[in-house]
A and B are shown apart, each in its own frame.
Chain A
Amino acid sequence: MKAPTRILVTSAIAAALSGSVFALPAQADFAGQTIEVIVPFAPGGATDVAARFLEKYLERHLEGNPDVVVENRAGGGSILGANWFQANAQPDGRTILFTTSSTANPYVLGQPEVEYDLATYRVAYGLPFGSVTYVSATTGIETIEDFANAEGLIYGGIGAAASDLPTLLSFEVFGVDVTAALGFTGRGPIRLAFERGETNLDFQFTPVYMTQVADTVEAGSAVALMSGGYMAADGNMTDRDPAVPDLPSVYEAYVELHGEEPSGVEWEAYNAMAALTLAFGLTAYLHPDTPEEIIALYADAVERINADPEFQQEAAEVVGGYSLTSPSDAEGPLRAALQPSDVVRNYLINLLSEKYDVEFQ
């Protein structure tokens, strides 16, 4: 609650209309209730599309078939919506914050406008993202070794502290020198700049890669290098991405090149930020004090949704074919990634400030 002085004046009509005022605190199901999914971005974006895509499956598979409603609260690069959630969500499982690394990165980096304590939140469900890094054929790069030794690479991005961060960190892992042109308004315009030849190194998330870029790779005008990876059982981003099984992950590409595992602060930073951006690409957060019974309702629903043949078929088209992540699998690694060691955090803050001119006053 915001202020202790706050009085909620609610008339009898209000109670009758909304029907939610006298709801019981703990319940075995969501029958007759409304679940609000807060999307802290404008309608039409990737997060909004995914949230609305999941709407009907949650309604179908959550115990009690609640009404699921997506609400957009855009602003402050998702910080406004997340701050609102922090101030208004109740531990009843009926308000969900569905968001991306745009909310997690400012939290990890300690941006002053952040009022939400993301690492204390519970997780309802998640949907991983995959990413593919590719270069223009004009660079002459064909192998990972060519890439590691390349010069004159120009990468287009939105902002160093945004979803570009893991990819920029992967360049650090390989020690490759890249000119980053940051300030684009979205990954779409960046792809256009790549097609125009203004940039020659890019990454796209897997659904876009498969529908928009894969053709050009097949035609030979672009060369796919590696995927961002997929989270292994131990919580590290070392597995191959099942959506693009022909491509090595950043981890595998490094092992292939150097004959040893990547290590050091660069890799640790990559591992944490890739987990936040990719493995927990889209995460549905709940109030920190949400009771276990309610978390269990979501865990059951995730299991049923993943088994729903209609979901399997549509997910392949809409969200890249990944299954939903269950709360029990997600929380441990997610909290670890949200609270990296001081060494990693200081490395990130230094890198952003010195190389990319990013500073949170």
Chain B
Amino acid sequence: MDHAIAALGELFEPMRLVALFAGMIAGMVFGMLPGLGGVAAVSIMLPFIFLFDELGGLTLLLGAIAVVYTSDTITSVLLGAPGSPASAPTAIEGHAMAKRGEASTALGLGFLASMLGGVVGAITLALAIPVAGPIVLALGTPELLMFALVGLYFASSMVGKDLAVGLLAGCFGLLLGTIGPAPAAANYRFTFGQPYLLDGLSLTIVALGLFAIAEVIGMLAGGGGISSKRQISTDWTSAFAAFWKHKWLALRGAIIGTFGGFVPAVGANASTWVAYGDAMRSAKDKSKFGKGEPRGIAAAEGANNATVISDLVPTLLFSVPGGPAAAIFLGALFSFGFYPGPRLVSEQPTLLYLIVWSVALASIVGAAICFAVTPLMARLTQVRFALIAAPLLLIMVAGAYQATQSLGDIAVLLVLGMVGWYMKHAGWPRAPVLVGFVLATPVEQYFWLANQIHGWSWLLRPGVLIIAALILFPILFRLITRLKPKGLEAISESASLQEGDDRSSTVSVSRLALALIAVAVFGYAAYEAAGFRANARLLPMLAIVPGLALALFILVREVWNLIRNHGGLVLDARDEYPVALVLLVYGLGIALVGLNLATSAFLLFVLLYFARMRLLGAVLYAAILIAGINGMFMLMRLRPPGGYLVTLNVI
């Protein structure tokens, strides 16, 4: 207790508070910018930690880490583009609420749940450090494998009404996750000879491509606001009411998130989806999920903030970072000469409590600041959407590019963007893709490690059996309840309800095209996977075999519908095709003439043609955006991508 009070005194040194606050500002800005999350915020802060003393430098980073998953709510809700990958559930539910005119409820609920998650994480950190060691050590590779499987099982509750399409989406995610090196045999899979793909795809880019690009296309084409009622009230009563109603759910999300943080390599993204799936499973009426269900926001935002903070538990106890932002924090600890481990915990209790106070304070103040800036941000939604979409796209491209600084990032972003855009219009669920992608690596890695170390005997470990029961009991319970006649009625009733609002009888171009693409992708994958070594083939095959079968089934179904349905093919979202084309041309332009020239042309075209600005205004606005993006690159100490033919760079 003395240490805790002493640490609070240390934190209230003016320079350290300045550091914490500066970190929070950076974290909030980066949380709001799609594609730039905690990792980017912390890496950019890294050179500045030496401006402060060692404790001040650490609080700078902690301020940034603690608030990223609070402010990302703003982007997710208002624009439908996930502010960071771990807020994808919020982008789904919150944006749907915003379209109904309930943006302030969604935002307030998100901020409060985030704050709760942060505080729960901080409390856990304080309490867990002395006792968490045995827990972390009790979880062997077989138990970690089982946790990943629990995640996949929870994900299965997200497949939505069309089972075949939902499962296919999950298989597609698993397949995307197998790109790159196989963990058990050093076989590189699906890399097409591109060094860029040797590490596999980045989660940030997959999340942005699937969710955000589709929104940008819609914004550019539509030009309208998110809500028909464009006013976002600053009356937060409904938000507080919603939070109070779902407080236990948010707390449950926070607890799930905390455990996710204990386990290295299960990041905020996985635990967010697990919490979201848990909220969905426990809800009586599941049909509202995906259409603006506040429960989804409460659980997801509670979870991601708790995870990012409890990621620090393995970091401080064992020097093993719980997540990517924690990895950078660990690097900072090293460079100040702190070597985390059991010894640090017993010898430097003040440092430990300083960390706890910092994240707790940042979580609370961060949520308060989010409430304060929301009216400002909400004005954005009254601006013509094409005007927001342009800088949004620029930031995403820059954010994608900063990870490896290769054009591959931009290419993958745009290709997956087209897939996500088609999926949005075809009504294919995108969440299972992301979940499959996130969990593919841990499932495969821990499966092979468990087998190499324990043989098949790992199946009988008590921990494994306990976790398996977590999956099996709910299934059994559901089977039993379903066998009752009442349950059957309810199911058939809800099935017929869903049939009504479904467009499955009409065949749109996007549905047909996606089915064709899916057959081609899985077919090719099957061909290439046949040449892999056995250890590298198992997981891809687990995705490919059902994936190919489902893709063929769906293709046949769509073609059958087309023949049966005399309406013929419907070209959906006709007005969005030119925008999609412009985006692809823009991507090609970056490769040929570099970011600056391509962006200038792209911006002028978009501003004049889609936003219908006057020439002078468009030129000025484009110039400001170009200057801004170059400033961002300068801040990140990077050069904007140059082209194969021409490069025009000012830095």
Asked if B337 and A314 sit within 8 Å, CB to CB, the answer is yes
* B192: min CB distance to chain A, Å: 11
Q: What string of 1s and 0s marks CB contacts (under 8 Å) between A39-74 and chain B?
A: 000111100110011000000000000000101111
Check: B14 CB closer than 8 A to any chain A CB.
Answer: no
The count of residues in chain A whose C-beta lies closer than 8 Å to any C-beta of chain B is 71
Q: State A180–B186 Cα separation when bound (angstroms).
A: 14
Residues of A contacting B327 in the complex (Cβ-Cβ under 8 angstroms) = 42, 44-45
Q: What string of 1s and 0s marks CB contacts (under 8 Å) between A184-215 and chain B?
A: 11101101110110110000000010011001
Residues of B contacting A69 in the complex (Cβ-Cβ under 8 angstroms) = 637
Residues of B contacting A83 in the complex (Cβ-Cβ under 8 angstroms) = 195
Asked if B535 and A9 sit within 8 Å, CB to CB, the answer is no
Asked if A189 and B335 sit within 8 Å, CB to CB, the answer is no
- Please pick, from B183, B196, B318, B533, the residue contacting A192 in the complex, using a CB distance under 8 A: B318
Q: State A188–B314 Cα separation when bound (angstroms).
A: 10
Residue of A6, A43, A83, A154 with most chain B CB atoms under a 10 A cut-off: A43
Q: State A113–B445 Cα separation when bound (angstroms).
A: 24
Which A130-163 residues sit within 8 Å CB-CB of chain B? Answer: 154, 156, 159-161
Check: B43 CB closer than 8 A to any chain A CB.
Answer: yes
Check: A322 CB closer than 8 A to any chain B CB.
Answer: no
Q: What string of 1s and 0s marks CB contacts (under 8 Å) between B305-341 and chain A?
A: 0000000001000111100100111111011010101
Check: A8 CB closer than 8 A to any chain B CB.
Answer: yes
Check: A110 CB closer than 8 A to any chain B CB.
Answer: no
Residues of B contacting A185 in the complex (Cβ-Cβ under 8 angstroms) = 264-265, 445
Taking A75-B406, A113-B198, A188-B318 as contacts, is the C-beta distance between A8 and B141 under 8 angstroms? no
Which residue of the partner chain A has the closest CB to B46? A43
Asked if B535 and A318 sit within 8 Å, CB to CB, the answer is no
Q: State A7–B335 Cα separation when bound (angstroms).
A: 41
- Please pick, from B137, B186, B334, B638, the residue contacting A49 in the complex, using a CB distance under 8 A: B334
Which residue of the partner chain B has the closest CB to A316? B337
Which A268-300 residues sit within 8 Å CB-CB of chain B? Answer: none
Asked if B449 and A183 sit within 8 Å, CB to CB, the answer is yes
Residues of B contacting A359 in the complex (Cβ-Cβ under 8 angstroms) = 186-187, 533
Taking A192-B136, A193-B140 as contacts, is the C-beta distance between A11 and B650 under 8 angstroms? yes
Check: A119 CB closer than 8 A to any chain B CB.
Answer: no
Asked if A52 and B335 sit within 8 Å, CB to CB, the answer is yes
Check: B529 CB closer than 8 A to any chain A CB.
Answer: no
Check: A182 CB closer than 8 A to any chain B CB.
Answer: yes
Taking A181-B453, A185-B445, A211-B341 as contacts, is the C-beta distance between A357 and B186 under 8 angstroms? yes
Check: B382 CB closer than 8 A to any chain A CB.
Answer: no
Asked if A72 and B43 sit within 8 Å, CB to CB, the answer is yes
Q: State A7–B183 Cα separation when bound (angstroms).
A: 42
Taking A80-B404, A159-B186, A198-B140 as contacts, is the C-beta distance between A43 and B43 under 8 angstroms? yes
Which B421-450 residues sit within 8 Å CB-CB of chain A? Answer: 445, 448-449
Residues of A contacting B187 in the complex (Cβ-Cβ under 8 angstroms) = 357, 359
* B529: min CB distance to chain A, Å: 14
Asked if A189 and B265 sit within 8 Å, CB to CB, the answer is yes
* B248: min CB distance to chain A, Å: 33
* A109: min CB distance to chain B, Å: 10
Which residue of the partner chain B has the closest CB to A115? B195
Which residue of the partner chain B has the closest CB to A15? B650
Residues of B contacting A72 in the complex (Cβ-Cβ under 8 angstroms) = 43
Q: State A317–B336 Cα separation when bound (angstroms).
A: 9
Asked if B650 and A14 sit within 8 Å, CB to CB, the answer is yes
Residues of A contacting B405 in the complex (Cβ-Cβ under 8 angstroms) = 73, 84
Check: B649 CB closer than 8 A to any chain A CB.
Answer: yes
Check: B645 CB closer than 8 A to any chain A CB.
Answer: yes
Check: B193 CB closer than 8 A to any chain A CB.
Answer: yes
Q: State A75–B401 Cα separation when bound (angstroms).
A: 12
Asked if B335 and A49 sit within 8 Å, CB to CB, the answer is yes
Asked if B264 and A7 sit within 8 Å, CB to CB, the answer is no
Check: A76 CB closer than 8 A to any chain B CB.
Answer: yes
Taking A80-B404, A318-B337 as contacts, is the C-beta distance between A18 and B651 under 8 angstroms? yes
Which residue of the partner chain B has the closest CB to A159? B186
Asked if B648 and A181 sit within 8 Å, CB to CB, the answer is no
Check: A79 CB closer than 8 A to any chain B CB.
Answer: yes
* A176: min CB distance to chain B, Å: 18
Check: A347 CB closer than 8 A to any chain B CB.
Answer: no
Asked if B186 and A179 sit within 8 Å, CB to CB, the answer is no
Q: State A160–B198 Cα separation when bound (angstroms).
A: 16
Q: State A43–B334 Cα separation when bound (angstroms).
A: 12
Asked if B140 and A357 sit within 8 Å, CB to CB, the answer is no
Residues of B contacting A53 in the complex (Cβ-Cβ under 8 angstroms) = 335
Taking A113-B195, A212-B319 as contacts, is the C-beta distance between A44 and B331 under 8 angstroms? yes
Q: What string of 1s and 0s marks CB contacts (under 8 Å) between B447-458 and chain A?
A: 011001110000
- Please pick, from B335, B341, B638, the residue contacting A318 in the complex, using a CB distance under 8 A: B335
Which residue of the partner chain B has the closest CB to A352? B186
Residues of B contacting A8 in the complex (Cβ-Cβ under 8 angstroms) = 647
Which residue of the partner chain A has the closest CB to B451? A181
Asked if A317 and B188 sit within 8 Å, CB to CB, the answer is no
Asked if B334 and A182 sit within 8 Å, CB to CB, the answer is no
Q: What string of 1s and 0s marks CB contacts (under 8 Å) between A324-361 and chain B?
A: 00000000000000000000000000001000111101
Residues of B contacting A198 in the complex (Cβ-Cβ under 8 angstroms) = 140-141, 453-454
Which B224-261 residues sit within 8 Å CB-CB of chain A? Answer: none
- Please pick, from B43, B198, B651, the residue contacting A76 in the complex, using a CB distance under 8 A: B198
- Please pick, from B181, B185, B321, B403, the residue contacting A188 in the complex, using a CB distance under 8 A: B321
Check: B632 CB closer than 8 A to any chain A CB.
Answer: no
Check: B48 CB closer than 8 A to any chain A CB.
Answer: no
Q: State A64–B207 Cα separation when bound (angstroms).
A: 46
Q: State A3–B448 Cα separation when bound (angstroms).
A: 44
Which residue of the partner chain A has the closest CB to B43? A43
Check: A112 CB closer than 8 A to any chain B CB.
Answer: yes
Check: B644 CB closer than 8 A to any chain A CB.
Answer: yes
* B329: min CB distance to chain A, Å: 8
Check: B199 CB closer than 8 A to any chain A CB.
Answer: yes
List residues of chain A with CB under 8 Å of any chain B CB. Answer: 2-3, 5-11, 13-14, 17-18, 42-45, 48-49, 52-53, 69, 71-77, 79-80, 83-84, 112-113, 115, 154, 156, 159-161, 179-186, 188-189, 191-193, 195-196, 198-199, 208, 211-212, 215, 314, 317-318, 352, 356-359, 361
A selection of 13 A-B contacts at a CB cut-off of 8 Å is A9-B648, A43-B43, A75-B195, A75-B404, A80-B404, A112-B193, A113-B198, A156-B453, A182-B183, A198-B140, A211-B319, A318-B334, A352-B186
| Those 7 A-B pairs whose CB atoms lie nearest each other, nearest first | A44-B331, A188-B320, A183-B183, A75-B404, A44-B328, A76-B198, A181-B452
